[in-house]
């Protein structure tokens, strides 16, 4: 396993030697740090100078990548090898955004003609909805569309549709329903007119309990409102790999947008699952998103490891998780339209690398994927940044900032920028007891009152951050940014030797929920359950659901 490699051992001893250094001093000693530890590709600029690294650190991390045969793993993904070994599938979301004329193969067959055919179908349909040429069953144009999906069939399209809000059509409202809690669909239905509403049922498997339950309820609502089963064909579309099931649901084939089992759920926004994005911002914009991601794919595939953005980000995460015991990673976009970005990354990262065994099933003797969390700045500053600055555990963080805004208004954007830079500066340099003392004296404090306050106002600093700057949040730059994180997660999984593309950890809860649901439906509590589950289930049975 990788933790017995020479590079791992060398990194462990390197950590001992740099563990006592302070970022503030490293910056003071080396005015060239920003130039040395920054990198630009695909319009994204990464400043990684505020990390706990010295000149020797990256070469050691790159040795680790070599020992993990990272380059071969990257090539294996692009070549369509079955790197998702527990499901015996290739992992080819990169084919969905392959804007070159290069063929990409699954089992010896070029998948690009099929990919392009679905993109063409998405173009025709999304343009028809946007122009009003495709109408509802009573002849009204579509004004509202509701994506019904969950996990990757929700988070990706929702997050992108929100982020690209400035590009959205004003006469089409986008809605997303995911939770099986009837409050999600129920509250939404109250606001909709059935005659001008389209439901898109998005499910890779078309078996997911939440999605099918919401879709069936939406169907019943539609039939009740429009008084005919025939209306369903006009008001439902689907994105799925399970064409039998979409047919059985009653969705006509020309409104079913296919994709393939080599697209992982959390990597599917580039496929037909992206239909809501195409309807919201137009197919040209959707294709720009694909182009941005493709540019990042090409960078990832061809740049040397030392000049490779996803590789550098991935290795820095390994550095903190495995050699500094950091357990979390925060992603803090200074862009309100990216407010669902971190939620999306939680699935991307935690479903991919929240694993305890290697590809071959051996127990990992070290930490794998971190807990990912975060919220946009500046809101987060007034909520959890206290912990980032003075908490007893520390969290490496990515700050993301677009240089230009879609909403130039007074001083807003300059203030946003100043806050973003100030936070990374504060986390890096901190504030010493001497500095606090001088400040308090200047404010006129003295004696006990002064001494009592000092330790409360000290900031340890030395807390590492990356800053990712984009020129402006456009479909293209955003596509590149999302792909950057996808590949970063793959880099880390490759170093740890885990399969980043299965998700067996979600299965047990699904199985047990079905058993408990059967009990709740039959009204009898099975003795098979533990006493806590029996007690709680018994309580829920005493309460009528409505």
Annotated catalytic, 382?
Answer: yes
Q: Give the Cα separation of 491 and 485 in Å (integer).
A: 10
Q: Would you say 235 or 266 has its CB closer to ligand F6P?
A: 266
Q: Would you say 506 or 536 has its CB closer to ligand F6P?
A: 506
Asked whether 141 and 147 are in contact (CB, 8 A), the reply is no
Residue 508 C-beta: closest distance to ligand F6P, Å: 12
Candidate ranges 28-36, 151-159, 419-427, 450-458; the one touching ligand F6P (CB under 6 A): 151-159
| Interface with ligand F6P, residue 503, by CB under 6 A | yes
Figure out which of the listed residues 153, 195, 337, 492 binds ligand F6P, where binding follows CB under 6 A. Answer: 153
Catalytic-role residue among 162, 298, 351, 375 = 351
Residue 435 C-beta: closest distance to ligand F6P, Å: 48
Residue 151 C-beta: closest distance to ligand F6P, Å: 3
Asked whether 467 and 401 are in contact (CB, 8 A), the reply is yes
Annotated catalytic, 510?
Answer: yes
Candidate ranges 83-91, 118-126, 148-156, 394-402; the one touching ligand F6P (CB under 6 A): 148-156
Q: Would you say 204 or 359 has its CB closer to ligand F6P?
A: 204
- Mention every residue, 6+ apart, whose C-beta is less than 8 A from residue 196: 136, 140, 141, 142, 143, 144
Catalytic-role residue among 244, 382, 456, 539 = 382
Residue 372 C-beta: closest distance to ligand F6P, Å: 16
Quick one: which of 124, 36, 113, 112 has its CA closest to 307?
36
- Please state whether beta strands 144-148 and 109-110 pair in parallel, antiparallel, or not at all (unpaired): unpaired
* 266-285 residues near ligand F6P, rule: CB under 6 A: 266
* 365-424 residues near ligand F6P, rule: CB under 6 A: none
Residue 245 C-beta: closest distance to ligand F6P, Å: 10
Q: Please measure the distance between the N-terminal and C-terminal CA atoms of the chain and give it in whole angstroms.
A: 54
Q: Would you say 271 or 337 has its CB closer to ligand F6P?
A: 271
| Interface with ligand F6P, residue 150, by CB under 6 A | yes
Q: Would you say 164 or 201 has its CB closer to ligand F6P?
A: 201
Residue 420 C-beta: closest distance to ligand F6P, Å: 31
Angle at 21 between CA 16 and CA 23, to 5 degrees: 135
Candidate ranges 42-50, 51-59, 145-153, 171-179; the one touching ligand F6P (CB under 6 A): 145-153
* 232-261 residues near ligand F6P, rule: CB under 6 A: none
* 156-215 residues near ligand F6P, rule: CB under 6 A: 203-205, 208, 211
Question: Where are any strands of DSSP class E within 380-464?
Answer: 397-404
| Interface with ligand F6P, residue 355, by CB under 6 A | no
Task: Work out whether the CA dihedral 390, 394, 395, 400 comes out positive or negative.
Answer: positive
Q: Would you say 240 or 477 has its CB closer to ligand F6P?
A: 240
| Interface with ligand F6P, residue 91, by CB under 6 A | no
Figure out which of the listed residues 90, 136, 265, 402 binds ligand F6P, where binding follows CB under 6 A. Answer: 265
Q: 3-state class of 201 per DSSP?
A: strand
| Interface with ligand F6P, residue 151, by CB under 6 A | yes
Residue 422 C-beta: closest distance to ligand F6P, Å: 37
Nearest-10 Cα torsion for 240, 241, 244, 248: -10
Q: Give the Cα separation of 514 and 248 in Å (integer).
A: 22
Q: Give the Cα separation of 89 and 502 in Å (integer).
A: 10
User: What does each C-alpha distance from 335 to 173, 378, 381, 470, 478 come to in angstroms?
Assistant: 21, 9, 13, 11, 12
Judged by CB under 6 A, the number of residues near ligand F6P is 14
Q: Would you say 381 or 503 has its CB closer to ligand F6P?
A: 503
Q: Would you say 356 or 438 has its CB closer to ligand F6P?
A: 356
Residue 376 C-beta: closest distance to ligand F6P, Å: 23
Q: Give the Cα separation of 301 and 487 in Å (integer).
A: 10
Asked whether 374 and 335 are in contact (CB, 8 A), the reply is no
Neighbours of 378 (CB within 10 A): 17
Q: What are phi and psi of 395, to 5 degrees?
A: -130, 115
User: What does each C-alpha distance from 87 to 84, 90, 348 come to in angstroms?
Assistant: 6, 9, 18
Q: Give the Cα separation of 298 and 249 in Å (integer).
A: 39
User: What does each C-alpha distance from 74 to 94, 440, 501 come to in angstroms?
Assistant: 11, 54, 14
Residues of this chain that interact with ligand F6P (CB under 6 A) are 150-153, 203-205, 208, 211, 265-266, 351, 503, 506
Annotated catalytic residues are: 351, 382, 510
């Amino acid at each position: 396993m990788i933790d017995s490699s020479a590079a791992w051992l060398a990194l462990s001893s390197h950590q001992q030697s740099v563990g006592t250094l302070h970022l503030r001093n490293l910056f003071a000693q080396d005015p060239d740090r920003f130039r040395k530890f920054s990198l630009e590709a695909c319009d994204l600029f990464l400043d990684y100078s505020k990390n706990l690294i010295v000149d020797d650190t990256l070469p050691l991390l790159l040795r680790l990548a070599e020992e993990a045969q990272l380059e071969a793993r990257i090539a294996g993904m692009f070549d369509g090898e079955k790197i998702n070994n527990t499901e015996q599938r290739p992992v080819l979301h990169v084919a969905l955004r392959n804007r070159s004329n290069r063929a990409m193969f699954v089992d010896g067959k070029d998948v690009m003609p099929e990919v392009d055919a679905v993109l063409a179908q998405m173009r025709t349909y999304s343009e028809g909805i946007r122009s009003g040429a495709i109408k509802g069953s009573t002849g009204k144009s579509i004004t509202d569309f509701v994506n019904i999906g969950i996990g990757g069939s929700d988070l990706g399209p929702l997050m992108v549709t929100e982020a690209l809000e400035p590009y959205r059509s004003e006469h089409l409202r986008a809605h997303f329903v995911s939770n099986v809690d009837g409050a999600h669909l129920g509250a939404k239905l109250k606001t909709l007119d059935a005659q001008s509403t389209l439901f898109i049922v998005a499910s890779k498997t078309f078996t997911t309990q939440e999605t099918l339950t919401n879709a069936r309820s939406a169907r019943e609502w539609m039939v009740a409102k429009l008084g005919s089963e025939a209306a369903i064909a006009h008001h439902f579309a689907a994105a799925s790999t399970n064409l039998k099931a979409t047919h059985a649901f009653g969705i006509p084939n020309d409104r079913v947008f296919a994709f393939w089992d080599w697209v992982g759920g959390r990597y599917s926004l580039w496929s037909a699952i992206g239909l809501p994005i195409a309807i919201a911002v137009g197919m040209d914009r959707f294709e720009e998103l694909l182009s941005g991601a493709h540019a990042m794919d090409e960078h990832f595939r061809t740049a040397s490891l030392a000049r490779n953005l996803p590789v550098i980000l991935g290795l820095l995460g390994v550095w903190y998780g495995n050699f500094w015991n950091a357990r979390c990673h925060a992603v803090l976009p200074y862009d309100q339209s990216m407010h669902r970005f971190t939620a999306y990354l939680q699935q991307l990262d935690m479903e991919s690398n929240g694993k305890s065994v290697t590809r071959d099933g051996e127990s990992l003797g070290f930490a794998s994927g971190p807990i990912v969390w975060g919220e946009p700045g500046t809101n987060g500053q007034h909520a959890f940044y206290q912990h980032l600055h003075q908490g007893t555990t520390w969290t490496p963080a990515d700050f993301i900032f677009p240089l230009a805004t879609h909403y130039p208004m007074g001083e807003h954007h300059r203030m946003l920028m100043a806050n973003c830079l100030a936070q990374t500066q504060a986390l890096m340099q901190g504030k010493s007891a001497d500095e606090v003392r001088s400040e308090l004296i200047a404010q006129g404090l003295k004696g006990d009152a002064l001494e009592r306050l000092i330790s409360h106002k000290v900031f340890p600093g030395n807390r590492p951050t990356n800053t990712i700057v984009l020129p402006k949040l456009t479909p293209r730059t955003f596509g590149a940014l999302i792909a950057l994180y996808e590949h970063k997660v793959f880099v880390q999984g490759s170093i740890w030797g885990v399969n980043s593309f299965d998700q067996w950890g979600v299965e047990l809860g699904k199985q047990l929920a079905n058993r408990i649901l059967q009990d709740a439906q039959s009204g009898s509590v099975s003795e098979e359950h533990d006493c806590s589950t029996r007690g709680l289930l018994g309580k829920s049975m005493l309460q009528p659901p409505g």
